[in-house]
């Protein structure tokens, strides 16, 4: 990032304000047990950065070697480790491990509502600014590829639909975002929807910047 140390650019300040507003309560994911006490804490990072004078984010496509969510598209993140001081530390540690962005370079912009997954995780989503350009280094055992997407594309309501997907032998309704042959669904789609809702508030968005 080109901002001086300690300074936030206008798009960052705008998002910090939007994310500081309260969010409504969230129902559990379809197929989850609302009363489960065995949820495992986890965190993900929604990385945002300026590229070609527009705001972008990225997703990771997971390999088939990971324990959970094989082959799915997600934000960088994972389960909390005993060595993590808090869930923000979980999110930036996992981001560094998965895609090579140094945790010290990530600047927190805010958080989105926690959510429960069908795999019994309670996920805390964080939004953070990362430097660009940056040399991504996908973890060979966890990340098959990195998918970069402009936020202006995701803000288009025509790129998302609600439909059934197969989960453990039954149909589960989920939002699905489509991008160049990729399908983003499940918990990742719900997190993304929360961010897009915040960006759309007051009829404006931070998808384009003057940076």
The pLDDT value recorded for residue 139 is 92
The pLDDT value recorded for residue 165 is 79
Give every residue of the chain whose pLDDT is below 50, as ranges. 1-5, 27-36, 69, 211
CA 38 from centroid of its chain's CA atoms: 23
The pLDDT value recorded for residue 21 is 84
The pLDDT value recorded for residue 171 is 85
Cβ atoms of 136 and 39 closer than 8 Å? no
The pLDDT value recorded for residue 191 is 97
> What is the crossing angle of helices 186-200 and 10-19, to 10°?
110
Round to whole Å and give the CA distance between 124 and 111: 8
The pLDDT value recorded for residue 169 is 78
Phi, psi of 4 (to 5 degrees): -65, 155
- The string of pLDDT tens digits covering residues 69-115 is 456 899 999 999 999 999 999 999 999 999 999 999 999 999 999 99
The pLDDT value recorded for residue 6 is 57
List beta partners, residue 80.
none
Return the DSSP state at 56. E
DSSP 106-137: -EEEEE---EE-TTSEEEEEEEEE--SS----
Nearest to 192 by CA among 135, 147, 140, 131: 147
Q: Tell me how far CA of residue 49 lies from CA of 87, 110, 149, 169, in angstroms.
A: 21, 15, 11, 38
The pLDDT value recorded for residue 209 is 67
Please state the pTM of the whole predicted model: 0.87
């Amino acid at each position: 990032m080109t901002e001086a140390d300690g300074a936030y650019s206008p798009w960052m300040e705008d998002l910090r304000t939007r994310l500081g507003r309260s969010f409504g309560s969230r129902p559990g994911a379809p197929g989850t047990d609302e009363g489960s006490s065995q949820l495992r804490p986890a965190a993900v990072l929604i990385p945002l950065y300026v590229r070609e004078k527009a705001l972008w984010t990225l997703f990771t496509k997971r390999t088939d070697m990971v324990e959970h969510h094989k082959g799915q598209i997600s934000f960088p993140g994972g389960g909390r480790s005993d060595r993590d001081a808090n869930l923000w530390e979980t999110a930036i540690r996992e981001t560094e491990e998965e895609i090579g962005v140094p945790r010290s370079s990530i600047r927190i912009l805010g958080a989105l509502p926690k959510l429960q997954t069908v795999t019994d995780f309670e996920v805390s989503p964080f939004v953070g600014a990362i430097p660009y350009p940056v040399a991504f280094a996908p973890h060979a055992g966890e990340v098959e590829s990195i998918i970069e997407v402009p936020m202006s594309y995701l803000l288009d309501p025509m790129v998302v639909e609600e439909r059934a997907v197969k989960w453990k032998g039954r149909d589960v309704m989920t939002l699905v975002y489509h991008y160049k042959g990729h399908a983003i669904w499940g918990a990742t789609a719900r997190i993304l929807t929360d961010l897009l809702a915040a960006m759309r508030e007051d009829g404006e968005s931070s998808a384009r910047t003057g940076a």
